[in-house]
Structure 1
Amino acid sequence: MDLGHNEVGATSAGLFTRAKRVFGDGTTRATIERDPIPRYMERGEGAYLIDVDGRRFLDLNGNFTTLIHGHGFEPVAEAVSRQIRSGSCFANPTAHELDLAELITTRVPGIDWIRFVNTGTEAVLFAVKAARAYTGRPAIAKIEGAYHGAYDWVEVSQASGPSTWGDPAEPASVPYYRGMPETVLNDVVTLRFNDVEGSVRLLEKHAHRLAAIIIDPTPSRAGLIVPEPEFVETINAMARKLGIVLIADEVLNFRQSYEGASARHGFRPDLFTLGKVIGGGLPIGAIGGSQEIMSVFGTGEKRAPLPAGGTFSANPLSMVAGLAAMSALDHAAFEHLERLGDRLRDRLSDEIAKKGAPFTVTGVASLFRIHAKRKAPRDFREALPSPAEAVIGEALTRAYAAAGVVFPNGAAACLSTPMTNADVDLVVDVFSEFLGTHSHLFESVSHEHS
């Protein structure tokens, strides 16, 4: 008898037993999902994954939205294979970093100069430091619930909740982990997404010490919410008026269009942070922006105000993989992803309407999230699932797994260029069946909101 997709595979179980001896909690990444243990993968083929027990899954995670061309993308495989024979890394620059830098600076309005690092976290870290070096101010403003990597200041209020987030008019700066220094909390102003009045008031109040406003144009973990036009213009205008550096964190959302997410939604950043898709599946991060602000990293004439090195920064493997992936992300590729995304969100919404189910869908381009809520959230507080909604979310992820689909719980799901209408229809069909077989769970949401 074939092993069901939701059953614990013997090979995965054996690997997890080994892992608990060396990793403490059994994994080396806190973001790994387990139900009840992690599912170990053996290989990927296009839009699909095959686990160590031989089961095949449509992949809507894409290593946290990184793999926009799916798994085993031949141009990337060929470029990396060719480069590894020539050398994996050097203490010298290569032409490959120029090729990728020229592609990005040519494509993205607002990026004159760029620097490569190894992760999205590093990109954010250096962007914040660049804003401080440029303005001489210490503090930053960030969006409540937004994720920007593992750097103390941007982790503030990342995981706050009803018991800690404070006054809606002036959100508290909430520590992310036990022992976070009080000095960090004092230098972070927390804003609510799409809150025009509150953002104006708080930015004006703290302008004298604010170096940067860091914003994800479509905050993923905070609900994958699209910014409202008035909010976009307010953030743009306040940054200019108050001399605050506006940082657009597009590590995840750069995949929204040929020119990225800021261009799509109207943000006018001074600095950008990039990662994920620009590396073709290899580790990468980048900071880019205007020559004036990027000059803090140095112009070659004297010691830089903000030196930035990194043993593996701009390593040739990541550079050639990124160039191959980005070269293939042409207008036709984005149009394909846009059509698939629109088809998926429209069909999911149709199923919700037909069944009168307490769900809504957010997202844009190749990204989407399904919320167990009747009304689309406008900010993190509205997007945070209640206990009953969280149970529904877990059940939905489990239902997808049983049908052979990897569907992230509480994070952005994504499409990839190898996907077809048939793949999208599978996602919709599983959701439709879930609505029919799990309606008993929806009553608890109605009781919570009554």
Structure 2
Amino acid sequence: MPTSPIAEGHNSVGHHSREAFARARGVFPDGTTRVTIERDPIPRYMGRGEGAYLIDLDGRRFLDLNGNFTVLIHGHGFPPVVEAVIRQLQSGTCFANPTLAEIDLAELICERVPGVETIRFVNTGTEAVMFAVKAARAFTGRSAIAKIEGAYHGTYDWVEVSQASGPANWGAPEAPAAVPSYRGMPDSVLSEVITLRFNDAVLAEQLIEANASRLAAIVIDPMPGRAGLIPPTPEFVAAVQQVARKHGILIIGDEVLNFRQGYEGASARYGLKPDLFTFGKIIGGGLPIGAIAGRRDVMRVFDASEGKPGVPQGGTFSANPLSMVAGFASMQALDHAAFAHLESLGDRLRSQLDAAVARHGAPFSISGAASLFRIHPKAVLPRETREAVLMGPEAHAMLELTRTFAEHGIIIPNGAGACLSTPMTTADTDLVSTVFEHFLATRGDLIERLPR
């Protein structure tokens, strides 16, 4: 068993993190500026990153399985990105005019991804999804959308619907409710969103058929991260595509997170053929970015060459050269060999975790693909959101599991998808599986409370 690098107690954070959080509470509403920051009981502040590792303010080293929410596919301080950004910093950070750098990155993505004919850059995945929905509305003349229950697509009102619903409000199995994500969400937004259940092909077809005349688009994450990191069934993909094509409803493939699943992305992996794509995270090389892409005729709604376009899309920092050169350097390095390395590491780790579960007869299951994985404190692998939601003992077990990982020098998200990066080796994945097996062997007090 590896020796823990932490000597201050159970999942403790060091005094420098405590000092930083005390300062932060004076200027941020809850001491942080992102709701996604994990705290137990306060956040751990980082000082720097080196390859696959993070070093906190107290000098402690952690294997990083969060990667800033899957962004850092090459880890921290990736030399080609660092060199590209330094060169660009010396030439200028942003201009009101276009640069060659944006053409370079656009050409790379258009050449790589089947179905991507033209592209527009924005600053975040949220913006990308927002403009993709607007483009679908402008192209079809309809206003409503359909989306998957529990799937996260950023913070645009319509795609936030039902992203955090639960047993108390998600509705009957055959009639999933449109659930607001925040207090004050307008009823008009809820009325324009049809909630689908992932991998329920029959129900999806029925709901889309019933609302076809008003649906502009169906927004699909090929493997919804927050909804369990579960792959789509071929039947579900086929049913959604067939009914969408029948009624002229556009499919928006949200690959902001899952583009890291392969050289051509996740849609190609699962047979999904979107009309529009949204990208982000890895295409920026660690800098802010988003992109909308897809069919040339649909993307023409952004065309301003002959006057006001159907969808005006700007943004002061859209296609800023720092993000463009960082993204190009990162994506160039993501060749077939890099993806093969990540696929091999991911397959190895998921197999090791499954084997540990089998040896201990523990009620855990593992989902994911390529460089992504998620540990579920559930005896049966979930098939959709409702099966993936963590109940009381399950949530407690996951919290204790993330604490155990932290005690042994590994940062892993609590109840969410984790990711690998290209600088990782089999020694790193062996460490992850060893710590997981240690947890299964020593925390019978928690495991015996889990449903079987």
Q: TM-score, normalised by structure 2?
A: 0.98
Matched, 1:62 2:67: yes
Correspondence list, 1:319-338, <5 A: 319-338=324-343
SS at match of 2:91: coil
**2:6 and 2:60 in contact (8 A); partners too:** no
Q: For structure 1, which runs of at least 5 residues remain unmatched after alignment?
A: none
Q: Over residues 117-149 of structure 1, what are the superposed CA-to-partner deviations in whole Å (9 max), with x where a residue is unaligned? A: 000000000000000000010100000000000
CA distance in 1: counterparts of 2:169 and 2:196, whole angstroms? 15
Equivalent residue, structure 1, for 2:225: 220
State the one-letter code of the partner of 1:101. Answer: A
Please, which of 261, 281, 285 is the counterpart of residue 286 of structure 2?
A: 281
1:28 aligned residue: 33
Q: Quote the Cα distance in structure 1 between the aligned partners of 2:132 and 2:100.
A: 24
The amino acid across from 2:299 in the alignment is M
- Residue 167 (structure 1) aligns with: 172
Residues in 1 aligned to 2:304 and 2:446: alpha-carbon distance in whole angstroms: 60
1:353-368 to 2 correspondence within 5 Å?
353-368=358-373
**1:371 maps to what in 2?**
376
1:314 aligns with 319
In the other structure, the counterpart of 2:247 is 242
CA distance in 1, matches of 2:431, 2:267: 31
Can you list the C-alpha shifts for 1:274-328, whole angstroms capped at 9, x where unaligned? 0000000000000000001000001512321111000000000000000000000
> For 2:105, what is the secondary structure of its paired residue?
helix
Aligned to 1:105: 110
Q: Is the 8 A contact 1:372 1:393 kept in 2?
A: yes
Measure, in 2, the Cα distance between the counterparts of 1:10 and 1:165.
42
Kindly indicate whether the alpha-carbon contact (under 8 Å) linking 1:4 and 1:402 is maintained by their aligned counterparts in 2.
Answer: no
Identity of aligned residues (%): 66
1:197 maps to 2:202: yes
| 2:119 is the counterpart of 1:114 | yes
> Following superposition of structure 1 onto structure 2, how do residues 126-145 of structure 1 map, counting pairs within 5 Å?
126-145=131-150
Q: CA deviation at 1:270?
A: 0.1
Q: Is 1:253 aligned with 2:258?
A: yes
| Aligned partner of residue 23 in structure 1, secondary structure | coil
Q: Which runs of 4+ in 1 moved over 6 A?
A: none
Q: Does structure 2 retain, via aligned residues, the 8 Å contact 1:3–1:9?
A: no
Tell me the residue number matched to 1:17: 22
Amino acid at match of 1:248: G
- Report if the CA contact (8 A) 2:6-2:407 is conserved: no
Instruction: Give CA deviations for 1:196-242 in whole Å, capped at 9, x if unaligned.
Output: 11001000000010000000000000000000111111111111111
Deviates more, 1:4-13 or 1:306-315: 4-13
1:32-43 maps to which residues of 2 (within 5 A)?
32-43=37-48
Separation in structure 1 between the aligned mates of residue 17 and residue 390 of structure 2, nearest angstrom: 30
- How far apart are 1:2 and its partner, in Å? 6.8
In 2, the alpha carbon distance for the partners of 1:77 and 1:269 equals: 33
Per the alignment, in what secondary structure is the counterpart of residue 121 of structure 1?
helix
Letter in 2 for 1:156: V
RMSD: 1.0
Which residue of 2 is the match for residue 71 of structure 1?
Answer: 76
Contact 1:11 1:52 in 2 (8 A): yes
- The equivalent position to 2:188 in structure 1, one of 174, 183, 187, is 183
| CA deviation profile, 1:351-376 (whole Å, cap 9, x unmatched) | 00111000000000000000000111
SS in 1 for 2:292: strand
